């Protein structure tokens, strides 16, 4: 009972000091910049014609795609985002890379939470001036919400990766568009669609891979909450010892 109280107090102090600065860092630290993306690999996610949130909407599904291309210098991934035919109310819409792919039945709920290999969580919201402190998958948090129709945006995200094996790899995952209230509107899977790299004259630089390989082991959706809880308990234990 007493121990519980102490833990609560420490936890409250910890959380309030974090929110006072509005600076959140993942339980595993800030997101790391990936510098060894195989140049030119292109991943494409195209929205389906089938509606998810409102199957009887005569306007049909949101149209569009995300094309994600590894940067020529291997640092980060360039995103070309294009959406149209968005709902006429309920915005501004947000979109994220989600942890799991969309299953064949098209259920966007099955994509689970945002891609978050550093276990940062959704709240407080991402501060886009410090993108390393945001969830890797929080594309609209880092790069802007959907506030127009059509909506077109291009940007480079330094934290997403096309290196299969890293936790921040998105090539086997999905993205989801949400209403402002987080209800899921539609979703699509990323898949490798080709490469802009002409040939072996520009080989992927694999020497830098050691620096960013740690998050890989923390990706599984199932292990995420366990790892997070273990870490939290560790932090609390440390706080008590100090
Ligand atoms: C975001 O971070 C910047 C730079 O640290 C800071 O000045 C600003 O107040 C932060 N914004 C919010 C909403 O926390
Ligand atoms: C920090 O977040 C709190 C609660 O979300 C908010 O009230 C406050 O204005 C934020 N501070 C800054 C500097 O943005
Ligand atoms: C995370 O990044 C922020 C902003 O640069 C920095 O203030 C903070 O110390 C970093 N946290 C860790 C654990 O590296
Ligand atoms: C979220 O917003 C949409 C669009 O306004 C609405 O249809 C839906 O019912 C809302 N969901 C919740 C849980 O309030
Ligand atoms: C998806 O989740 C929303 C919100 O919890 C729920 O209203 C909806 O029925 C779910 N849809 C499916 C197909 O599971
Ligand atoms: C996606 O790939 C990453 C990195 O290889 C892996 O850790 C993760 O388990 C994979 N996710 C799915 C849903 O297959
Ligand atoms: C690969 O690049 C080299 C040098 O840029 C060029 O000479 C060669 O024709 C290219 N090969 C292919 C298959 O594109
Ligand atoms: C590969 O990356 C390493 C570390 O970033 C760098 O030192 C090296 O020059 C790079 N090699 C090539 C061929 O780009």
25-77 tens-digit pLDDT: 889 999 999 999 998 899 999 999 999 999 999 999 999 999 999 999 999 99
6 lies in the same domain as 57: no
Q: Distance, CA 173 to ligand 8 centroid (Å)? A: 29
18 lies in the same domain as 116: no
Taking Cα atoms as reference points, which of 105, 128, 101 lies closest to residue 219? 101
Residue ranges with strand state E in the chain = 41-46, 63-70, 77-84, 94-98, 151-157, 174-178, 184-189, 191-195
Residue 165 alpha carbon, nearest atom of ligand 6: 5
Indicate if ligand 8 lies below 6 Å from the C-beta of 209. Answer: no
Q: How many domains does the chain have?
A: 2
134 lies in the same domain as 186: yes
The domain in which residue 117 lies consists of 26-218
pTM, rounded to two decimals: 0.73
Written as one string, the DSSP assignment of 99-150 is SS---TT--GGGG-SB--TT---S-SPP-TTSGGGS-TT-HHHHH--B-SSS
36 lies in the same domain as 94: yes
Residue ID of nearest Cα to ligand 1 atom 9: 22
pLDDT digits (tens, 9 = 90+) for 175-215: 999 999 999 999 999 999 988 765 555 555 554 444 444 44
237 lies in the same domain as 135: no
70 lies in the same domain as 156: yes
128 lies in the same domain as 234: no
53 lies in the same domain as 108: yes
**Residue to probe by mutation, ligand 4, list 59, 90, 93, most atoms within 8 Å of CB:** 90
CATH no. for residue 173? 2.60.40.200
Asked if residues 108 and 179 have their Cβ atoms less than 8 Å apart, the reply is: no
Residue 22 alpha carbon, nearest atom of ligand 1: 14
225 lies in the same domain as 139: no
């Amino acid at each position: 009972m007493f121990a519980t109280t102490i833990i609560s107090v420490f936890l409250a102090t910890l959380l309030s000091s974090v929110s006072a600065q509005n600076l959140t860092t993942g339980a595993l630290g800030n997101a790391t910049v990936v510098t060894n993306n195989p140049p030119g690999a292109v991943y494409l996610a195209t929205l389906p014609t089938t509606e998810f949130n409102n199957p009887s909407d005569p306007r049909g599904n949101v149209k569009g795609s995300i094309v994600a291309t590894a940067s020529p210098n291997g640092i980060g991934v360039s995103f070309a985002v294009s959406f149209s035919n968005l709902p006429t109310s309920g915005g501004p819409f947000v979109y994220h890379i989600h942890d799991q792919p969309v299953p064949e039945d098209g259920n966007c709920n099955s994509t689970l939470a945002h891609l978050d290999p550093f276990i940062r969580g959704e709240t407080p919201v991402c501060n886009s001036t410090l993108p390393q402190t945001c969830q890797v998958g929080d594309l609209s948090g880092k790069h802007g919400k959907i506030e127009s129709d059509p909506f077109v945006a291009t940007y480079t995200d330094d934290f997403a990766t096309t290196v299969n094996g890293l936790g921040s790899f998105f090539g086997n995952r999905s993205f989801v568009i949400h209403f402002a209230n987080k209800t899921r509107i539609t979703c699509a899977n990323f898949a490798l669609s080709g490469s802009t790299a002409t040939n072996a004259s520009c080989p992927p630089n694999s020497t830098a891979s050691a620096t960013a390989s740690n998050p890989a082991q923390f990706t599984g959706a199932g292990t995420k909450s366990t790892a997070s809880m273990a870490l939290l308990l560790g932090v609390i234990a440390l706080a008590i010892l100090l």
